[in-house]
RNA sequence: AAUGCAAGCCGUCUUAUCGCUCCGACUUGUCGGGGAGGAAAGUCCGGGCAACAUUGAGCAUCGUACUUCCUAACAGGAAGGCCCCGACUUGUCGGGGACAGAAAGUGCCACAGAAAACAAACUACUCCGUUCGACUUGUCGAAUGGGGAAAAGGUGAAAAGGUGAGGUAAGAGCUCACCGCCUUUGUGGCGACACGAAGGGCACGGCAAACCUUACGAGUUGAAAGACCAAAUAGGUCCCGAACAUGAGCCGCUCUGCUCAUCCAUUUAUGGAAGUCGGGACGGGUAGGUUGAUUGACCCCGAUUGCGAAGUCGGGGCUAGAUAAAUGAUAAGAUGCUGACUGAAACGUCAGUAACAGAACCCGGCUUACAGGCUUGCAUUUUUU
């Protein structure tokens, strides 16, 4: 499995876990994202991630897809920065009103991953 | 050649690196292959499919509304009819039309106007009478009273058949001709209708996108429908096994043991019920998974029938299948477009940008969005021969 792979198992898709993340998870804002995270209660071999952009800010499906694809790509290429343990549930919620280009999103994701590492160290 | 209109079609491409999803191989982590649209959109119609409901009929409700045809079906399409508008070469072309019924009933018709549906007399017109004035002494003018008259003016979306002639005091379908309308009828056409004939002086204003009437159609809910498999935990039913339970009393106390009592049946010391523990089976069912779900009213080519929409026959093809939801990111180049610069122009250089938009059970339509390009037809202008 390649260093930069990003297959189905790494995506957060169980409804139960998503509910848990949104109700119990901690969060911080880091433009253009709001990031939610929670230690994974199940035994998973990977961090599990979800990306989302709201219908309220982006009415067209094409725009939402574009944002999610760029965000996912940024995570895929930089996820090695993230510490191995503990395994986390992470939600990237796009809160900006306009579509940013890939470079800006990649920078933001990088910062976010570093911050997640710091937060975990404190615990 | 350019511009405009209409119809149809296309609607960025290539390479490299790193990735995603499905399928197939095998050496089980590698290789090979497939991977958004013309609208995937709006969810406005129609169907397939599924579950539930369902004796039949009527009423109500909703929808449709020139005709015939196509179709699984439609509010879609094709061909045609009629009406309206525009153009000119005046009988052709182009465009538009919710285009059934207003002689079944109810309702409405603002403003303006005298009067708006049982018509109506404001001005002007005209006849008769009375009074006054003038003079050429029977005429004219003015005022007033009583009639006639829907022809003229003006208002209005609309003024109660139109035009012309006769007629009359003035007028009027009052009469006549032509046109229109109504009734009856002939011929042609599947039909909507068309072209005629005879009779009738004409009765019947508009609005049905007001209620309504007529004809035809419609069961409800949608893929989060439905079908199947089903972990763990808790609970249910059944079966098997084990221990016999609870209370009191006795041995100093504990364990063990013994005695008595406690639900039902009786053969009176056994069986059953209930309860406890362990194991098993069954069924319901949650998370989750499979299916529905990608071979279809499918696509391409050819033949044939039909004016056409389409139908039939033959051959070939398999063309996304995700599910918190794949089809991407980065770089380079090409292509198109836009802008700037240079220039007579082309070429060129630089910069920017890549239309509208993302499948979600599947089809047939409709509607809306769309940078740019291509093809065909028509019209106009210019150039050349």
This prediction's pTM: 0.72
User: Does any domain span residue A74?
Assistant: yes
Give, in Å, how far the C1' of B48 lies from the CA of A117.
55
Let me know if residue A1 belongs to a domain: no
Residue A1 has pLDDT above 60, yes or no: no
A117 falls within a domain: yes
Nucleotides of strand B lying closer than 7 angstroms to a protein CB: 18-22, 36, 287-288, 323-330, 357-359
Instruction: List, for residues A88-109, the tens digit of each pLDDT value.
Output: 888 888 888 888 888 888 888 8
Distance A12 CA to B190 C1' (A): 68
Count: domains in chain A: 1
Domain of A29, CATH number, reads 3.30.230.10
Tokens at residue A117, please?
Answer: 């590492």
Closest CA to A98 of A51, A27, A31: A31
Q: How far is the CA of A55 from the C1' of B225 (A)?
A: 27
Give the structural domain span for A21.
8-122
């Amino acid at each position: 499995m390649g260093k930069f792979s990003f297959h189905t198992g790494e995506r957060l898709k169980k409804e139960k876990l998503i509910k848990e993340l949104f109700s119990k998870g901690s969060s911080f804002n880091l433009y253009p994202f709001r990031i939610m995270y929670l230690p994974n209660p199940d035994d998973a071999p990977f961090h599990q991630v979800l990306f989302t952009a709201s219908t309220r800010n982006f009415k067209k499906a094409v725009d939402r897809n574009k944002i999610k694809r760029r965000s996912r790509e940024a995570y895929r290429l930089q996820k090695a920065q993230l510490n191995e343990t503990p395994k986390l549930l992470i939600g990237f919620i796009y809160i900006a009103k306009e579509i940013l280009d890939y470079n800006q999103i990649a920078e933001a994701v990088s910062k976010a991953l570093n911050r997640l590492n710091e937060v975990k160290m404190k615990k």
